[in-house]
């Protein structure tokens, strides 16, 4: 979850792991900034994917548009403000939780602090490697 991101990002490794052919990507000609230090990033394309939060008894499903990028990341995808708006979620960064309305009550999506620390550490190592290679 990244409430500061204006895009939903999907890494090409995740697209490949999902066995989605690249031919399903829509072309995009606009670059974006902030993902690669001191450089523009050009997505390979866009794709619409159904995203579900919750369980069988209480779930919310929406179709999100992702920018597919061909560079390394420490995550499978980044859910940004477009996701938050579509699902009308309320993020709580202190507790690493997203809350949204479901048909049978509130849906809470979360993680653990140890998992967040591991992801942050991997992200730091990746960013350091990219900056040092420049």
Domain layout of the chain by residue ranges: 9-133
d(CA 43, CA 31): 7
Going residue by residue through the chain, which has 134 residues, state the pLDDT in tens, using 9 for 90 and above: 556 577 889 999 999 999 999 999 999 988 877 666 666 778 999 999 999 999 999 999 999 999 999 877 777 888 888 888 898 988 887 778 889 999 999 999 877 777 667 777 776 777 677 677 76
Overall residue count recorded for the chain in this entry: 134
**Under 8 Å between Cβ of 42 and 123:** no
- Provide the whole-model pTM: 0.78
């Amino acid at each position: 979850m990244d409430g500061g991101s204006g895009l939903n990002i999907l890494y090409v490794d995740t697209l490949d792991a999902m066995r989605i052919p690249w031919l399903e990507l829509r072309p995009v000609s606009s670059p974006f900034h902030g993902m690669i230090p001191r450089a523009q990033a050009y997505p390979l394309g866009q794709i619409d994917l159904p995203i579900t939060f919750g369980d069988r008894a209480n779930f919310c499903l929406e179709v999100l548009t992702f920018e597919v990028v061909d560079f390394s990341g420490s995550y499978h995808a980044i859910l940004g403000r477009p996701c938050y708006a579509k699902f009308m979620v309320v993020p709580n960064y202190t507790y690493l939780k997203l809350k949204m309305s479901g048909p049978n009550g509130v849906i809470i999506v979360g993680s653990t602090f140890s998992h967040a620390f591991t992801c942050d550490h991997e992200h730091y190592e990746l960013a350091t490697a990219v900056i040092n290679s420049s």
